[in-house]
Amino acid sequence: MKPRIWSVVLWLGVAVVGWGQVHEDARLNRTIETSATAYTIQGAKTRQEELLRNQIQTMQPDVLPRRIVFVPHWKYLYAARMYRLHVPTGMASRMFTHLESRSVFIDTDRYGDDDSLGHWMAHELGHLAMNSSSEEDAEKAAAKYRRRLKEVRKRDPQ
Ligand SMILES: [Zn+2]
């Protein structure tokens, strides 16, 4: 096999193992997961991770993701197809959420600037809060989170 194919196999293997553990640990870890740092961020630069953790803390989501993964575009498309995850076709997709494992995937090549990172993350947190794959449900919850982001931006303009 070519090195690139191996890396996909490897990456998917890790992802599947990770998701298997989610189901087993979900109940035990329930109380720990309410803290703001109890989720992992993979594949991000230090600055991206700090920014995103900050934004999520500001949004105070009702349900935290368990895992956030930054991936390059080709891997993003591959993961979405492999797991038949919900990726809206109408709009250019930049992130998606796998509800069962509470994993959010971010397309590193396409999510845009700092503000749009928060904007789209609010939508994914909306899916988690409503435990729903419906775009309407997600947007309903996201409105509240985006308001909180906006308030902080107004208070401490950069
Ligand atoms: Zn959505």
CA of 105 to the centre of ligand 1 (A): 12
**Rounded Cα–Cα distance for residues 150 and 6 (Å):** 43
- Torsion over CA: 122, 69, 95, 101 (sign): negative
Q: By C-alpha distance, which of 110, 111, 140, 124 is closest to 67?
A: 124
Domain that holds residue 123: 3-155
Total-model pTM: 0.74
For residue 66, report the distance from its CA to the centre of ligand 1, in Å: 17
User: For the chain, how many structural domains are there in total?
Assistant: 1
Residues around ligand 1, an ion, CB closer than 5 A: 135, 138
The per-residue pLDDT for range 27-82, each reduced to its tens digit, is 444 444 445 458 999 999 999 999 999 999 999 999 999 999 999 988 988 888 87
Cα(3) to centroid(ligand 1), Å: 33
Is the pLDDT higher at 32 or at 93? 93
104-139 pLDDT, tens digit per residue, is 999 999 999 999 999 999 999 999 999 998 999 999
Comparison of pLDDT for 91 and 134, the residue scoring more:
134
Q: How far is the CA of 2 from the centre of ligand 1 (A)?
A: 34
Structure tokens at 142: 């996201």
| Ligand 1 centroid from CA 42, angstroms | 21
DSSP 145: H
Domain containing residue 31: CATH number: 3.40.390
DSSP strands (E only) in 30-102: 40-42, 67-71, 95-98
The Å distance, Cα 1 to ligand 1 centre, comes to: 35
